[in-house]
Structure 1
């Protein structure tokens, strides 16, 4: 299909051409225009939420930037950050951008061998680490001793004998002295920074192979901020709760958008504190991955057992929500009786759930993995639109998005204004062109040339465009299954159907290439399993033992049968195995952003897969 651009493309290009010359200027503009406006909220050491203005944050980043300059770092140098989401992560990253240095972001749960590879490949000469535990993961690589000249520990005191180590507070002290001696040092460095300055190297953990370093310039991040901000979906009065890993492009992009919109960012990366934090900061929007939204739904459902009075009311309310969906999703007037029922369901159930999530959510945004349509409908029925977006690290993460006022269910929305999308007529592959596309893969021009042709980035994803420019994702090209019967199966769609129709299933991997039928590896939600055991006379039983209970397997079979009823016969899962543990970063079967690494999982659990196909000839075709 011919490429499609957004109808605001010309306006965005004009805004981009006349935009700030660099990220430091963008921050300076926000701090000067709205000096006392709250830009940041974050928990202190005691868990109490604090606020920081844009001007205070700007001044802080200048102190940190001056400290880095005092230590000899300059424009073009690469500095790593290996830490969880926090206000200090943002400050360190912004300080590097202000002086024109490059952030090499690493997840705190990155495996030790990958840390070694990433730091060597990026050429990082310093690194911020969250704490002493991560310090040890870096310091253990003696081959990096000559390359990494400084390690800044962001939390706690310096108890290391390594002369390269200094604390966050010591870096600030260097910065204050430097600013006293050379007051213009930061602004001098900022003046030498442009749209072409390399801002970030993000290594994609990927679902296969060695990490690839994606180079994103300051100009690309500025373009993303303008492109998102121009649609007026996000406002300066919004409070955006951010738990996403900032090492991932999705999280970082949303932070930089706030430089344009003035949105307040409330930061805390602890996943187990998402719901409690939302009740404290009352966000108006939140971004996340499908698995987090599935956990929110499971938490609501598990709090009201099906046979209890609360469970029956919840079930009735959700049925009313489903009945109202065709009307509310199309902005149509409901019949009087249904409208009255929905109003009651909202008062008894939906408003209570929304209150648990802070009470002010206008919408939530899902990205990074395929969203189950039923999960999207569930949130919409609750009164919280769940908007799906799409992008890859190579296109600065957020390239397509739905808007609350322009939501098309099942699609990932339309492309960011100023960029273009094309779907290859032969393969169905999605191609993207524009300022959102990366500069290239770090130290790998050959691979860069393979994925970027005539300015078009080849995503490796299959999709289709409708007449209005809305994009629909099918799957990864390399993941599409062709059964021995010649049928094509999108494993991600089947996996989304499994997790979407089961409160129990946390992760799923569907396999079937070259076989007569599909099978699945599934892991269970530990919270669901614990609560199930508590109500079925197995309280306290370990995860590995509980998943072997026949009653648990029967429950899973019912859930999978429900999912199968909504699939084509060739897509249905004929057999499944429950894993003894969730797939994790540690065993190489999951990425730090909670996505399953399909090829690694299949290799890791090949024995279980072979078992499910042991008597393939005897399994009835459906």
Structure 2
């Protein structure tokens, strides 16, 4: 393998690579049709990484446990981000070892999918069911913690009695929940599906901030993300720096960013068409919750089973005029609300 790599490098030195050369071919899930090979360039990945660096979320002293598949855009972006940001990554794709790995690694952040967080939540609840006292104690602690969290989020004063109750709840229950994640967790990031806001609030009350985000393979993973201190449950946050999100008048989701793919591999009929002012277009898939955004507020999400057209958006028409991206049809159904955030970017993706 080493010898083969050396011969490849001799024939094509890495110094000769450009931003437009292909860095990876990642395949979509195929849940809404034939799986497509997404051609992501070095420029695409670099744009994704720099946008995440710009939100100042990850640092050299961070530690994470990566169990997401590296063939998926989410996991691939995290593995590359470790090189860019310089943090330490432990990799183990065996889900049966997550609990023991968390205790050993003690991560400062971890990225997950809703299913895992739902299972952890259910396991804690089930464990407390064995004893009526434990069940009541857990319910009380969660209620107290979420009430305190809501007051703090809105900037309201926490009553003295509630503050004392929160300290007691933390000592008896909440500290143990954080301990199950190693005790150092700054935040969890959830993507690739919609997380029940009640579960996100439950984790938040326990002192584990959940940053829900949204993305797609065709845009090099993440396109929007909640920020620490600005979390709004039930949303996937604001578009990342360098990314625009808006809607066409018929409800198509529009994402424009330098991170957008070059084209689909060996699939001419699905290859995005070009226009003089647009580098490329690609369909947004249903890999995340359908989205919509305003420049001032986080992107609202709805379940994939619903659809709302962009008639609810007062900016859709004006946005469409400035985005001459050819229509690309996709079979995913999307519910959307409002129009996009602006930035300087060069590519567009859209879906229906």
Q: What interval of TM-score do these two structures reach, taking the shorter chain for normalisation?
A: 0.7 to 0.9
Q: Is the CA contact (8 Å cut-off) linking 2:46 and 2:259 kept in structure 1?
A: no
Report deviation, 1:287: 0.3
Q: How far apart are the structure 2 equivalents of 1:270 and 1:215? A: 28
Match of 2:306 among 480, 484, 491: 480
SS in 1 for 2:78: helix
Report deviation, 1:345: 0.4
SS in 2 for 1:371: coil
Residue 264 of structure 1 is matched in structure 2 by 88
SS in 2 for 1:279: helix
Report deviation, 1:475: 4.4
> What is the number of residues matched between the two proteins?
304
Q: Is the CA contact (8 Å cut-off) linking 1:363 and 1:384 kept in structure 2?
A: yes
SS in 2 for 1:232: coil
Q: How far apart are the structure 1 equivalents of 2:22 and 2:198? A: 40
SS in 1 for 2:32: coil
Report deviation, 1:322: 2.9
Residue 252 of structure 2 is matched in structure 1 by 429
Q: Is the CA contact (8 Å cut-off) linking 2:216 and 2:285 kept in structure 1?
A: no
Report deviation, 1:231: 1.8
Residue 536 of structure 1 is matched in structure 2 by none
Residue 204 of structure 1 is matched in structure 2 by 28
Report deviation, 1:198: 0.6
Q: Is the CA contact (8 Å cut-off) linking 2:190 and 2:210 kept in structure 1?
A: yes
Give CA deviations for 1:157-182 in whole Å, capped at 9, x if unaligned.
xxxxxxxxxxxxxxxxxxxxxxxxxx
Give CA deviations for 1:409-435 in whole Å, capped at 9, x if unaligned.
2211111211222122x2333201121
Structure 2 matches for 1:440-519, cutoff 5 A?
A: 440-449=263-272, 454=278, 455-459=280-284, 462-476=290-304, 479-480=305-306
Residue 69 (structure 1) aligned with residue 40 (structure 2): no
SS in 2 for 1:303: helix
Structure 2 matches for 1:350-429, cutoff 5 A?
A: 350-424=174-248, 426-429=249-252
Match of 1:243 among 67, 80, 83: 67
Give CA deviations for 1:5-44 in whole Å, capped at 9, x if unaligned.
xxxxxxxxxxxxxxxxxxxxxxxxxxxxxxxxxxxxxxxx
Report deviation, 1:238: 0.5
Q: Is the CA contact (8 Å cut-off) linking 2:44 and 2:258 kept in structure 1?
A: yes
Residue 589 of structure 1 is matched in structure 2 by none
Give CA deviations for 1:461-502 in whole Å, capped at 9, x if unaligned.
6433235152112244xx4379xxxxxxxxxxxxxxxxxxxx
Q: Is the CA contact (8 Å cut-off) linking 1:451 and 1:457 kept in structure 2?
A: no
Residue 115 of structure 2 is matched in structure 1 by 291
Q: Is the CA contact (8 Å cut-off) linking 1:317 and 1:345 kept in structure 2?
A: yes
Unaligned runs of 5+ in 2: 309-352
Structure 2 matches for 1:174-193, cutoff 5 A?
A: 185=10, 189-193=13-17
Structure 2 matches for 1:71-90, cutoff 5 A?
A: 74=8
What root-mean-square deviation, in Å, do the aligned CA atoms of Structure 1 and Structure 2 show? 2.4
Give CA deviations for 1:426-475 in whole Å, capped at 9, x if unaligned.
23332011211111111123212379994454425643323515211224
Residue 438 (structure 1) aligned with residue 250 (structure 2): no
Q: Is the CA contact (8 Å cut-off) linking 1:432 and 1:458 kept in structure 2?
A: no
Q: How far apart are the structure 2 equivalents of 1:309 and 1:458? A: 51
Q: How far apart are the structure 2 equivalents of 1:445 and 1:473? A: 32
Q: Is the CA contact (8 Å cut-off) linking 2:273 and 2:281 kept in structure 1?
A: no
Q: Which has the higher contact order (CA 8 A, sep 6+)?
A: 2
TM-score normalised by the chain length of structure 1: 0.46
Q: How far apart are the structure 1 equivalents of 2:282 and 2:254? A: 5
Report deviation, 1:236: 0.6
Q: How far apart are the structure 2 equivalents of 1:445 and 1:328? A: 53
SS in 1 for 2:68: coil
User: Residues 199 and 377 from structure 1, CA distance in 2 versus in 1: closer, same or farther, beyond 3 angstroms?
Assistant: same
Give CA deviations for 1:289-325 in whole Å, capped at 9, x if unaligned.
0000001111211221164322221121112123223
Structure 2 matches for 1:467-616, cutoff 5 A?
A: 467-476=295-304, 479-480=305-306
Q: Is the CA contact (8 Å cut-off) linking 1:430 and 1:460 kept in structure 2?
A: no
Q: Is the CA contact (8 Å cut-off) linking 2:146 and 2:204 kept in structure 1?
A: no
Q: How far apart are the structure 2 equivalents of 1:306 and 1:321? A: 22
